[in-house]
């Protein structure tokens, strides 16, 4: 047992130890406080501010698009968008994702994929769904306290003022894909941004995009804004002024839709579901209209295209995404006969005065007949070149093709721009078509017997059949060269790039691709024949009493043995002596060129010349623009079918058409992106 003195010393020792421990602890606390407040003070002050201040990007509105007269076609409007801030997600983020999936009707896997794609930009909002409807917006606001990291932004979205009008020209927007982001990330794009997928939206993406701004916003604990601390305004994208004329484009699309509907309801052509029209200024190459039907509404891609609507577009046998003005290459039929006539006159194998005798059958190949022989069992009799164009006499052009040979005929076809892209800047690009010749056939076929070129194949090409393939746009450039005397222009859609104030910043001028050395008398002869086509020939019914002289050519293309449907063509220009406008109309499986395609061209020309506007004097017999297009009297029958030695024309409405060997095919439509589809 310790004595009192030792017990006292032990107690004092314990007190000292306790004192030292307390002093040590307080010293550590003091040092820690000094470290936090002095050494790391600025860091934690900044972090504290970051917990209450958000940097909110402000997307720039895309540039506006105008027609040639300055009328607004495409603009932007504000809409509500729900976004996730990855760095603000709570430990319960799985629950947040699950609830968002239910409210937005988006699969959870899609939301997780969006977060994963945005991992490199944790401070940037991951935009899950744009253009929220009121019901979804209310549901989000009701659960805002239970959804940390979720914000609702008011951002600009695209607004196509005329719905599906010129949809193939404008294209549509969709969420940027991972592959596209690799190409665009250096320009400041985020993984959840939208970009142009097709058309001018894609071709001029960097012009239209603009520069995003941002705001420093103080928020409360549930991310509701309290006050704005600073703002950097976004810079809107540059605008585009197009060569398109709004009224002409509207007339072209309306006439195509109404005529196709009329054909399906009242004629045997029940598969007439698609077509195209190209309207061009032959003096400059400006495209006044570029129409393709069926089409799609790019407004329905905003906020995420409905999966059902996307499936309807993809499964539609008429292929609404195909821009038939530039991506359908088919035989031109009798629209090619003016080229054969030019070639024959320029090469000296015929002249204006020569008389041909048409007894209905070709004298060397009796199986080659004229359309009038098929219908009436007779020929046109004695006929010259001008009347041959007027009556679209196959026998005349069979003979001219035989005299020319395929090499000279192909040379002149290429002089007029066939077999090559027209040069239009577009996305996706146009098809180049096909001008067949001996060299092409040697490369396109494998069996030795198939590599031989036969005279009957030259005859088929001479009337625009066989393996010859052209697009409506190529034919528009061809007929423009016929109209202006031989100048082949490069077609274009954009007149100017505009600054933020709508002033031209960069303008585009006509570009001459080639000057075809045509003799004036050759041009006059062919022009006279085409004028007679409209005045007294195969297009006279459609243009009866039209007050402005028109030169044109009808075409009817067979699809192959046993197929009753035919493609319908019309191409022409007006006025005849001073051409201002070229019109090309194509109706897929639409029947005869004179009965089906020519009335559509008349409607377009009425719009161009102001004959169908309110208060204007519409000519007697002209179909009013608000009514369905009335068919003209039956046109001449189709041209002779291609010979077995040459591959036949493509059946465009089949699900998987077999292409002509060596001919390009149209690209598949670009996906708008999974998150934008909502699938």
Closest CA to 189 of 200, 205, 169, 168: 205
Tally of CB atoms within 10 A around 221: 9
- Residue 245, classified by CB atoms within 10 Å of its CB into exposed (0-12), middle (13-18) or buried (19+), is buried
Distance CA 105, CA 85 (A): 19
CA distances from 665 to 156, 332, 431, 539 (A): 36, 17, 7, 31
Distance CA 282, CA 488 (A): 9
Distance CA 431, CA 329 (A): 7
* Residues 6+ positions from 315 with CB-CB distance below 8 Å: none
Distance CA 155, CA 152 (A): 9
User: Peptide bond preceding 382: is omega within 30 degrees of 0, i.e. cis?
Assistant: no
Domain 246-608 = CATH 3.40.710.10: yes
Which ranges of the chain have pLDDT less than 50?
Answer: 47-50, 615-658, 674-679
- What is the dihedral angle through the alpha carbons of 373, 378, 379, 380, rounded to the nearest 10 degrees? -120
With both helix axes pointing from N to C terminus, report the angle between 394-415 and 337-346 in degrees, rounded to the nearest 10: 80
* Residues 6+ positions from 283 with CB-CB distance below 8 Å: 484, 510, 579, 580
Q: Which string of DSSP letters, residue by residue, matches 322-339? A: --HHHH--B--GGGGHHH
Domain 53-242 = CATH 3.90.1310.10: yes
Distance CA 202, CA 76 (A): 16
Query: What are the start and end residues of each CATH 3.40.710.10 domain in the chain?
Result: 246-608
- Asked whether the beta carbons of 66 and 241 are under 8 A apart, the reply is yes
Three-state DSSP class for 561? Answer: coil
Res 670: pLDDT: 62
Q: How many residues does the chain have?
A: 679
pLDDT digits (tens, 9 = 90+) for 442-483: 999 999 989 999 999 999 999 999 999 999 999 999 999 999
pLDDT digits (tens, 9 = 90+) for 127-186: 777 778 788 888 887 777 777 777 777 888 899 999 999 999 999 998 888 888 888 878
- Asked whether the beta carbons of 609 and 601 are under 8 A apart, the reply is no
Res 654: pLDDT: 30
- Asked whether the beta carbons of 606 and 557 are under 8 A apart, the reply is no
CA distances from 52 to 40, 90, 416, 597 (A): 19, 15, 68, 66
- Asked whether the beta carbons of 444 and 661 are under 8 A apart, the reply is yes
Three-state DSSP class for 421? Answer: coil
Query: What are the start and end residues of each CATH 3.90.1310.10 domain in the chain?
Result: 53-242
Radius of gyration of the chain (CA): 35
Three-state DSSP class for 469? Answer: strand
């Amino acid at each position: 047992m310790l004595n009192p003195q030792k017990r006292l010393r032990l107690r004092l020792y314990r007190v000292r130890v306790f004192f030292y421990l307390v002093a040590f602890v307080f010293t550590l606390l003091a040092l820690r406080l000094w470290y936090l407040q002095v050494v790391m003070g600025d860091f934690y002050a900044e972090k504290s501010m970051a917990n209450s201040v958000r940097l909110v990007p402000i997307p720039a509105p895309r540039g506006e698009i105008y027609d040639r007269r300055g009328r607004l076609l495409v603009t932007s409007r504000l809409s509500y968008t729900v976004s996730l801030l990855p760095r603000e997600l709570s430990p319960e983020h799985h629950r947040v994702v699950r609830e968002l999936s239910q409210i937005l009707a988006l699969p959870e896997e899609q939301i997780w994929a969006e977060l994963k794609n945005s991992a490199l930009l944790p401070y940037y909002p991951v935009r899950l769904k744009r253009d929220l409807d009121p019901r979804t917006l209310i549901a989000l606001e009701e659960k805002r306290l239970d959804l940390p990291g979720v914000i609702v932004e008011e951002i600009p979205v695209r607004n196509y003022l005329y719905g599906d009008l010129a949809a193939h020209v404008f294209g549509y927007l969709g969420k940027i894909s991972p592959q596209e982001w690799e190409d665009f990330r250096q320009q400041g794009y985020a993984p959840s941004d939208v970009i142009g997928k097709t058309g001018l939206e894609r071709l001029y993406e960097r012009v239209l995009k603009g520069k995003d701004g941002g705001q420093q916003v103080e928020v409360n604990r549930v991310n509701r804004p309290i006050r704005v601390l600073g703002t950097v305004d976004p810079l809107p994208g540059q605008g585009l002024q197009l060569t398109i004329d709004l009224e002409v484009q509207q007339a072209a699309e309306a006439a195509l839709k109404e005529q196709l509907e009329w054909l399906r309801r009242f004629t045997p052509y029940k598969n007439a579901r698609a077509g195209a029209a190209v309207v061009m200024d032959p003096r400059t190459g400006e495209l006044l209209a570029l129409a393709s039907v069926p089409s799609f509404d790019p407004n329905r891609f905003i906020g995420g295209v409905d999966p059902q609507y996307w499936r309807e577009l993809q499964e539609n046998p008429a292929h609404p995404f195909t821009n038939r003005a530039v991506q359908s290459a088919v035989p031109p039929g009798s629209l090619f006969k003016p080229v054969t006539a030019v070639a024959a006159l320029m090469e000296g194998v015929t002249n204006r005065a020569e008389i041909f005798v048409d007894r209905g059958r070709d004298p060397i190949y009796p199986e080659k007949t004229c359309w009038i022989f098929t219908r009436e069992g007779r020929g046109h009799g004695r006929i010259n070149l001008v009347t041959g164009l007027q009556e679209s006499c196959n026998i005349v052009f069979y003979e001219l093709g035989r005299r020319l040979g395929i090499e000279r005929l192909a040379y002149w076809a290429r002089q007029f721009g066939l077999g090559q892209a027209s040069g239009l800047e577009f996305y996706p690009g146009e098809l180049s078509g096909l001008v067949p010749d001996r060299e092409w056939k040697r490369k396109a076929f494998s069996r030795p017997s198939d590599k031989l070129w036969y005279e009957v194949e030259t005859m088929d090409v001479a009337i625009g059949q066989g393996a010859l393939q052209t697009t409506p746009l190529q034919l528009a450039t061809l007929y423009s060269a016929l109209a202006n005397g031989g100048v082949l222009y490069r077609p274009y859609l954009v007149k100017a790039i505009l600054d933020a104030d709508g002033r031209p910043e960069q303008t585009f001028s006509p570009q001459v691709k080639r000057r075809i050395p045509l003799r004036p008398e050759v041009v006059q002869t062919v022009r006279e024949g085409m004028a007679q086509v409209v005045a007294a020939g195969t297009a006279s019914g459609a243009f009866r009493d039209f007050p402005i002289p028109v030169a044109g050519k009808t075409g009817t293309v067979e699809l192959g043995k046993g197929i009753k449907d035919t493609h319908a063509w019309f191409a022409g220009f007006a006025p005849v002596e001073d051409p201002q406008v070229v019109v090309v109309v194509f109706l897929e499986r639409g029947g005869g060129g004179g009965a089906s395609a020519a009335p559509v061209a008349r409607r377009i020309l009425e719009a161009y010349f102001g004959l169908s506007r309110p208060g204007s004097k519409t000519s007697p017999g002209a179909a009013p623009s608000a009514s369905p297009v009335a068919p003209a009297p039956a046109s001449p029958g189709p041209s002779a079918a291609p010979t077995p030695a040459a591959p036949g024309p493509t059946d465009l409405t089949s699900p998987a058409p077999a292409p002509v060997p060596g001919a390009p095919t149209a690209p598949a439509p670009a996906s708008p992106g999974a998150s934008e589809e909502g699938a």
